[in-house]
Every structure is written in structure tokens, then in C-alpha cells.
Structure 1
Amino acid sequence: MRRELRIRWRSSTSKFVVAFFAALYCCSCSARTNVKDDGALYLSPMIRDGRIDEARAACKVRLDNSTAAAVDSCAGYLTVDEALLSNLFFWFFPATNGSSGAPVVLWLQGGPGASSLFSVFNEHGPFTVDAAGVLQTRRHAWTSTHSVLYVDNPVGVGYSFTADDAGYSSNQTDVARNLYAALVQFFTLYPEYRQNEFYAAGESYAGKYVPAVSYAIHQNNPGAQVKINLKGLAIGNGLIDPINQMVYSEFLYQNGLIDEDGKRLFKVQEDLARDRIANQDYRAAYAAMTRMMITTPSLYSELTDMQNIYNVVWNRNPIPFEGGNWDRYVQGPVARAALHVGRRQWSSVDTVYERMKYDIPMSVAPWLAELLEDGRYRVLLYSGQLDAIVPYRGTVNVARALRWTGAERFGNATRTTWYLVAKVAGYATTYGPLTELLVRNAGHMVPYDQPAWAHDMINRFTSGKPFD
């Protein structure tokens, strides 16, 4: 029997929003002096004191490249736990089409431990970085039709940081609490966006983060002073409900990457991982899961001699966007000055991953099901056809296993073909608020592999246009 993840919010949660700023700043001012000389921009004190115009002026991003200078954006730090000096870094891009009513999209990268700035430069932000380290305009930027808020999440990822080890997240409740605290401050800083439709989106391990923060919004909105106009969730190649997503044996076999013996070996590991999850032995489940695709060597690399797990047509590392120009650029002096990070260090994946690794086998499906059951939120689960680490069939399993009143009718829904400019972009199954979507010829990072289709996808989803 699947274990349903039970979330216990702190006893003060129901009063969280009303007392948010008082709680956030209840510690002595001396706590803030530890970071005040690092040159970074901390917006929370200005937000707390009502110095909104000052904060908005301070966080403006000014890049010397003429291409980038034409794009309006702001960046800085939002303090989410004053006692632990925990801060989330964000970079916000208002929609470049000039629409004040454009949907607001929160974008979260996966990992656990990957920076959302990866997506700014490699997937759907307004820029790319060329071989000379110069910013160039992206043709299919989501920021052209949406106002996009990129957050380095959880605390400790990218430019986000904490001064205390207790500030690192170890589960999705921690993640959601910090993200929600940041969002309340963001919409206090930019109240004109509160009425806009809001969507939480992300890929990979953000398959956990997106339902977590959405559920936090859902729980807190009724009593909130700052209400967030949540309308939906979009999850790409997301790890959501691992017990239903371990389909490596069949996926790799059907793609010809392993033979019958290899399929049997993978099946043994899958069964072991499922058994450990069912018994809530998450340490053992983590070991069984990572042995298949993550460890060095992994069962995947041993049986296929393939090193890359993000797209079955890519062989060895580095993958096209790793070891490239974007991470050097974002850590360089020009970007650091423009993004107001001062002397804060760019953080690697390792610390955050170690803190969250036993969260990996756990499920957030009950949250997702409750959001669907509510009926006010649309959910898009999209998957690249060629992804090896979170295969498409696993996403189908998640969608069909969700326990809500529309489950049976979703399972019987007719699949449609999604076209863009007379080309087949993918296939969709929709019933009510839930859509499951396959994107052709794409791997784990759909917007990287198929930028035009991904842009059409997010436009259709947020506008309510069907995939046909």
C-alpha cells in the first residue's frame, strides 16, 4: 500500500501570514549585522519598513550589454528566516510584451541543488551566453509572454544561502515554508502583480517543490493578508511519486539500450526500491534508487556504457549546456554586480543534495491530488520523450494514480495530437484540470531541446487553450 505523505505545518501556520513580518523580524537587529557588510542587496528590511520605492529602485538590474540593458529586471535577496540568516535569491523579469496583466510564473529548478539561473540562460529566460561570454537574445523566451520569477531554491542553492546549518531544508515542508515566505515579500514589493494569474512551474526535482509551494499557498490563502492568485502548476519531467515512477527496466529495454538480462537486473532494483519505500525505509530506498541511474558507476552506465541520463540520444558528458559559458558568466564580476549578490559565494549542489537525499524516495502525490480535488487549479504534467532519468511512462503512472474524483474519467480520456505550424509537437491527455503531455524529440530539459514547442506549451497552458 502506498504511503501517503502527511504534512504537519508548524502550529503557528494558520497565523503565519497575518504575523509574517513581525515573526520574520522578531530577532534582534544584531543578527543582521553579520551579513550587512557583504555587499549584497537585502530587500526584506526595506519591505518591512514600507520603503517599497527604495527597494524597487535598489533591485534594478543594470547590465552593460546593450542587448541585456533593454530587458527590464530586478534581483536581490529575500530573507526567509532571520534567526538563521536564511536568504533566497531571486531574479524577476516582467513580461517584455508590455502586458501588465501577463501571468506571473514562478520557476524552480530541480536537483536537489540546481540553480534556477540555469533556466534563465539555457531554457526560457531572455538571454543566452555565447562563446565569448556575451549575452544574446533568446528567440523563444517565456519572458516575452509571461512575467517570470526565477528563485534559487532551496536555501543554499546558487546564490541563496544560510548562515546556519539549521537553515538548510531536509524535506518539502521546509522548502514550501521558505518559498511561501519569499512569495509574500515579493507580492508586497510588487503589489500590482497580485491580481495577475500566478503559476508555479519547474522541472526535474521541482516535481516536489512545485506541489509543495502550491499546497502552502492553497492552505494559507484563506487567512492571508497578501493573497496569491494561484491558478495552476506546470511540472516538467518531474519526480513526484517515486514508487510509481521506477520504469527504467521497461523504458531502457524498449529503446534497445539493455537486453533481457539487463531488464531483469533493473527490475530487481526497482522492486527493491518500491519495497523499501512501502516500508518507509527511505535510506535503503534512496540507495536502491540511486544505484540504478545516479551512482558512479550506475547500473545504467555499466550496462549501456552511456554516461548521460538526460537524453537517450546523448552519450557522454558534458551535455551541451554543462561546462559551458553560462555558469562562468553568472559568477563573473559583471553579473555579480548587476545581480546585487556582493561577495556572496555561488554554491554547488553538494550540501543541499546531502541534506535532502532521503527526501528523494518520498511522494508529494497527496498534495497534488488535493489541489486537483479542489478544482480551482489546473495541473500540467509534461515530459520529454527521450528522458532517461524521469521517463515518460513514469509520468503517466503518476497522473493515473492520483486519487481525486476525476481520476477514472481522466484514465478514459481520449488522447489528442498537439500540432505547431503543421508539425506534431506531442500528445496530450486531458480531463478537467489535469493534462498529461508528451513532448516529442525532447529529453529531461524540454525547453532546451524544443524551445518553440515549449513556449507554445506554456502559452497554451496559462491561457487555457487546448493541446490540439
Structure 2
Amino acid sequence: MWFVFVICILFCERVHGGDYIAPKNKETWSYVEVRPGAHMFWWLYYTNANASYTQRPLIIWLQGGPGASSTGYGNFMEIGPIDVGSNPRKVNWVNEANVLFVDNPVGTGFSYVQNKSLYARNNSMIADDLVTLFSSFLKKVPEFQKVSTYIFGESYGGKMAVGFAKALNKAAVAGKVKCNLQGVALGDSWISPVESMLSWPPFLYATSFLDEEGYQKVQKLADATADEVKKGNGKAATELWMKTESLVENLTHGVDWYNILHLDADVQSLNAVTVEKKPRRGILSYDRHVGLLQGGNLKDLMNGVIRRKLRIIPENVTWGGQSDEVFAALEADFMEPVTDDGKESFSMSFLPSGFSWFSRQCFLAFSVEFLLNRTNLSVIVYNGQLDLIVATQGTENWVMKLLWPGVKGWRSTERVAIPLPHIKTAAFYKQYKNLCFYWILQAGHMVPADAPEAMLEAMKHATNIHG
């Protein structure tokens, strides 16, 4: 009787007027102490697919921010089997693949640090922590060592995914980690922050959010931010980025950064997640972006029934309680492109004519280039048509400037349309060798939430799921 009572509490608790429905698939979760005093939480869903789970890929999902929670937002708001209202999600990735959600960097979601000095300060630290976590994960569930694995990163999670993929590939080649990494997917990703920022003025002007005068004002600040990045002044660049965002919001009367067609001030692009108005240590952009993912029904769910279900969360840990500190710790690294610290370089003989010194420096030791040039991994890039913060034009710009011999072939390859039963054209893709780019229509920054069916088709195509 006691056992039945516990099960009812864990799996049948009422949430927001409805019963919490446990997913049908097998789940497991755990903590990994990636460094002394730094604890990272992961949550695995085994696939519901008819095929054996070892015959379907493992997708590692990394949320953005930095400081947004994969186990919370990515799981319950985007691709997991249950939504934030505790209803089964009709279009979810667990029906097709195994999905591993990781609260990363340390301090995000249910992950936590015991000392503030332990927060990650750069992408290299984040990558090392993720390799440590995944190595521990594979020891706990060794059957996944041979399963095709793909790292999916959304927004800032894409920046982290690139570093993770590179570090994991090196560890695998050295025999330190036994895994079957096949590729990395970068969704509306903060790979080249300068290129993303420089795309804001023309995008906003073309969509009538700015007039010519406003265009020039935003362009001036974006150019100034690029100059600070060129000088290596990361913190100053981040401060100018924040200033530029405030200017854009003032000039556009509050354009939605994540979906420009969300014009109603009472409608958030994040499906009923509400912003908490209290300041977070003076970091306006934390509230503007990460705080938006941490409140409302999702916060109640994670700190209520989910916390009780998991049963391993320390009493002094609150879901999202350290995420603002995570954001602040990466301030100096925030505007940096994903680089290799100048340790590796590539031939520049195939650079486009007129390529600027600044662009050469930003992309000379790009980790995306390392993956394309020095590994057999698939590099998958996708972007939502209606995203502003990482607009498609900026993403295309850094892709076309990659120091990769195949870039010319990719540029000349024709796009292929992706139809759905009820949509003539839901997306396009272009693939050449190990680079594939997906243009997802009618979607903003959180593509799986805005265009779930189109994104699911893209995911299946990218990970070679058939049937």
C-alpha cells in the first residue's frame, strides 16, 4: 500500500488542473560531479520507436542562454514527450530517437556548483565538463557506446555544441571515450555573434521594423560592437550588445527577438512562459532572454512535481536558482566566435576575394571549420525564418565565409524543398559533403516549438532515421 501511495505522489500529482502523465518510455537520470564541487544533471528518455532503442540515434540536447535548462525548457516546451501542461506532446522527438537532456553549463537548471568560483568562464571549460559528463553517462549505460550520437544545440547551446563536439571527437580518437559520435546540429546558434548582430539592421529594415534613420542608428552600434570584438575586448563587446538590444527594442516598439511575427505585447514567443520582472543582478539581457525561459508554469512544474519525481535533487538546490550567475560568468566570452585559441590554422588559398582582415581573424581557427576539415562528422545548421536574435542572413554569412574547401560547392548546390502533407513547402535544405543547412519556414528562434513537424522531418533527415 505504501509503495502504491508513493507512485501516486510521484506520477499522478495534479498540475495546473490536470494530472501529471508519466511518459510511456523508459527514463533514467543522474548527477555527475564534473569537477570537485561542480555537479551536472542529465535526464535520458529511451525512444518509443518500434525498433530497438539501440537501432535509433542518441540525441544530446543542449539549451542556450547561457543558463537556460535543457531538462526544463527543451524537454517540456520543445521536444520532450510531455508538455508544460502535463499533456502528451503529439510531435515529439522521443518517438523517433533517444534523447539526452543536459543541464549545462554547471549551475543551469538542476545542475549546481558549491562555490561561485566553479562556474564555467569560457567555451573550453564547458566542453571539458560535457566530455566528463558524457564519459560518465556511457559508463552508466554502456549500450549507448555504439549508438549513433548527434549533439543538438539551440542558440548559445550551438556555440557550446561545437566546442563539445570537437573535444569529444578528440577524446574518442585518443581512446579516452568510447562513443559513436556522428554529427553536430546547430539550431539558430550563437556561432558568430558579430555576424548575427550585423544582420539585425537589414532584417529589421526589410520587415518594416526600422526606417532608414533607425537602420543607421542600429548599424552604428553593431559596427562598434564588431570593433570591440576585433580588439579582443569581450566584456566591452557584450556591454555594447546589450546596449544595441535596448536600442532595437525602443526603435521597434518592442519587437520579439525570438519571432518577429509575435506582435501582440501580451503574447510571448515561448508558449505561455512569463517573464519575472525582478532584476537579476542588473543584467538586463539575462531577463530579456534567459529569464524568459525560467518562469511561470515551467518553474512551478520543475520545482514541484518533477523535483519530487526525480528524488535526487539536493534540498538546497532550486531549478534555475543559479542560472543568472551562469550568464554573468560567461560575460567576457559571450561575444567571442567559436575558436581554437589560435593553435590550429587552415590554408587561406580558397578564401573569397576581398575577404577582410577582421573576417579572416574571426574565422581562421573556427571550430566549425575544424569539424568540417579534420573530422568525418556531419555539421548540420538550421535556422528559423522569423528569428531575429540569430537571423538567417547572419547564419548564412558565417557559413559562406567558412575556411573549408567545400564551401564553393555548397554555395552552388541547389536547395531542396521539404513538403508536409498539409504544407506545400515547410522548409528547404542544401547539402554538400558533410555540411547540411536547413531553412525552416514559419519558425522563429525555438524552431521545434514554432514548426514542430518541419523540424522533426529535418531532424530525421539529418540523423538518417528512415521510416
TM-score bucket (shorter structure)? 0.7 to 0.9
In the other structure, the counterpart of 2:24 is 70
Give the alignment of 1:309-388 within 5 angstroms: 309-315=257-263, 316=265, 319=268, 320-323=271-274, 324-332=296-304, 334-339=305-310, 340-343=312-315, 344-348=317-321, 349-364=323-338, 366-388=366-388
How far did 1:276 drift?
1.1
Residue 419 of structure 1 aligns with an amino acid whose one-letter code is: P
How far did 1:317 drift?
5.8
Tell me: CA distance 1:446–1:285, structure 2 relative to 1, closer, same or farther (3 Å).
same
Of residues 200, 223, 227 in structure 2, which corresponds to 1:275?
227
Give the alignment of 1:95-110 within 5 angstroms: 95-98=47-50, 99-100=52-53, 101-110=55-64
Residue 308 of structure 2 aligns with an amino acid whose one-letter code is: A
SS of equivalent to 1:419: strand
Distance in 2 separating the partners of 1:302 and 1:313: 17
Residue 389 of structure 2 aligns with an amino acid whose one-letter code is: I
- Say if 2:28 and 2:43, in contact at 8 Å, map to a contact too: yes
In the other structure, the counterpart of 2:67 is 113
Tell me if 1:305 matches 2:277: no
- Say if 1:286 and 1:357, in contact at 8 Å, map to a contact too: yes
Give the alignment of 1:46-445 within 5 angstroms: 63-64=11-12, 67-68=21-22, 70-82=24-36, 85-98=37-50, 99-100=52-53, 101-116=55-70, 117-130=72-85, 135-246=86-197, 247-293=199-245, 298-315=246-263, 316=265, 319=268, 320-323=271-274, 324-332=296-304, 334-339=305-310, 340-343=312-315, 344-348=317-321, 349-364=323-338, 366-421=366-421, 423-445=424-446
Tell me: CA distance 1:429–1:455, structure 2 relative to 1, closer, same or farther (3 Å).
same
1:175-231 alpha-carbon deviations (Å, 9 max, x no partner): 001111000000010111111100000211112110010011111112224312110
In the other structure, the counterpart of 1:459 is 460
- Say if 2:103 and 2:111, in contact at 8 Å, map to a contact too: yes
- Say if 2:186 and 2:382, in contact at 8 Å, map to a contact too: yes
How far did 1:94 drift?
0.6
1:5-36 alpha-carbon deviations (Å, 9 max, x no partner): xxxxxxxxxxxxxxxxxxxxxxxxxxxxxxxx
TM-score normalised per structure 1: 0.81
Distance in 2 separating the partners of 1:69 and 1:107: 18
Residue 112 of structure 1 aligns with an amino acid whose one-letter code is: P
Tell me: CA distance 1:225–1:216, structure 2 relative to 1, closer, same or farther (3 Å).
closer
Distance in 1 separating the partners of 2:300 and 2:266: 18
Residue 114 of structure 1 aligns with an amino acid whose one-letter code is: A
Structure 2, gaps ≥5 residues long: 1-8, 13-18, 275-295, 340-365
- Say if 1:67 and 1:136, in contact at 8 Å, map to a contact too: yes
TM-score normalised per structure 2: 0.81
Residue 452 of structure 1 aligns with an amino acid whose one-letter code is: E
Identity %: 30
In the other structure, the counterpart of 1:47 is none
Distance in 2 separating the partners of 1:238 and 1:197: 22
Distance in 1 separating the partners of 2:424 and 2:448: 17
How far did 1:126 drift?
0.4
Structure 1, gaps ≥5 residues long: 1-60
Tell me if 1:450 matches 2:451: yes
Q: In angstroms, what is the RMSD of aligned CA positions? A: 1.8
Residue 395 of structure 2 aligns with an amino acid whose one-letter code is: T
Distance in 2 separating the partners of 1:359 and 1:414: 36
Distance in 2 separating the partners of 1:207 and 1:241: 10
SS of equivalent to 1:369: helix
Runs of 4+ in structure 1 over 6 Å off: none
1:363-418 alpha-carbon deviations (Å, 9 max, x no partner): 11611111111241111111111111111101101211111121221122222222
- Say if 1:308 and 1:317, in contact at 8 Å, map to a contact too: no
1:437-459 alpha-carbon deviations (Å, 9 max, x no partner): 11111111000001111111111
SS of equivalent to 1:217: helix
Count residues in correspondence.
Answer: 394
Distance in 2 separating the partners of 1:442 and 1:399: 20
SS of equivalent to 1:331: helix
- Say if 1:120 and 1:126, in contact at 8 Å, map to a contact too: yes
Tell me: CA distance 1:102–1:62, structure 2 relative to 1, closer, same or farther (3 Å).
farther
Distance in 2 separating the partners of 1:164 and 1:257: 44
1:93-119 alpha-carbon deviations (Å, 9 max, x no partner): 011114221100100100011011201
How far did 1:326 drift?
2.2
Distance in 1 separating the partners of 2:94 and 2:23: 15
Distance in 2 separating the partners of 1:235 and 1:396: 12
- Say if 2:382 and 2:440, in contact at 8 Å, map to a contact too: yes
SS of equivalent to 1:137: coil
